[in-house]
């Protein structure tokens, strides 16, 4: 039987933003390799978080893998921008994309890994 390896991906939403850089370095000292970054636009989901400027600034201080979860309408509009600011993986929501396949292809073309999330009320069979 093949051994499964799990990795933790702490979310920066749980960080103290006054100490964000310091806390990222603490994660590195604990051998954390993945950083989960939720980006929310206030339209697809009601909350608003941070975006590309924060990702770009923390990319300068770490080589951690940036797992960026886009909870934004039509994320295809921002693919190149997230690639430039240092995202390694973009997760988009099926429900937020007019053409999810084209969005995923654009992410791959930009040199990033991609994944699809679905909202709890969406049937898996839609994928």
Q: Would you give the DSSP letter of residue 87?
A: -
Q: Would you give the DSSP letter of residue 48?
A: B
What confidence score (pLDDT) does residue 126 get? 83
Residue pair 112/123 in contact (Cβ under 8 Å)? The answer is no
Q: Which of 108, 82, 80, 103 is nearest to 93 (CA)?
A: 103
Tell me the whole-structure pTM to 2 decimals.
0.90
Mean predicted confidence (pLDDT) in 79-84: 98
| pLDDT 10s digits, 38-61 | 999 999 999 999 999 999 999 999
Question: What domains lie within the chain, and their CATH numbers?
Answer: 12-117 (3.20.20.70)
| pLDDT 10s digits, 17-43 | 999 999 999 999 999 999 999 999 999
1 pLDDT exceeds 60?
A: no
Residue pair 112/89 in contact (Cβ under 8 Å)? The answer is yes
Q: Rounded mean pLDDT of the chain? A: 94
What confidence score (pLDDT) does residue 58 get? 97
Residue 106 parent element (H or E): helix 100-109
User: 71 has which bridge partners?
Assistant: 40
């Amino acid at each position: 039987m093949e051994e499964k390896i799990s990795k933790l991906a702490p979310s920066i939403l749980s960080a103290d933003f006054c100490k964000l850089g310091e806390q990222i370095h603490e994660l590195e000292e604990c051998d954390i390799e993945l950083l989960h970054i939720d980006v929310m636009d206030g339209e697809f989901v009601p909350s608003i978080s941070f975006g590309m400027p924060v990702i770009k600034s923390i990319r300068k201080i770490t080589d951690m893998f940036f797992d960026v979860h886009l909870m934004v309408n039509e994320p295809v509009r921002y693919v190149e921008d997230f690639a430039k600011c240092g995202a390694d993986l973009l997760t988009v929501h099926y429900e937020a994309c007019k053409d999810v396949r084209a969005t995923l292809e654009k992410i791959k073309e930009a040199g990033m890994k991609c994944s699809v999330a679905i909202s709890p009320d969406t049937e898996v069979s839609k994928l």
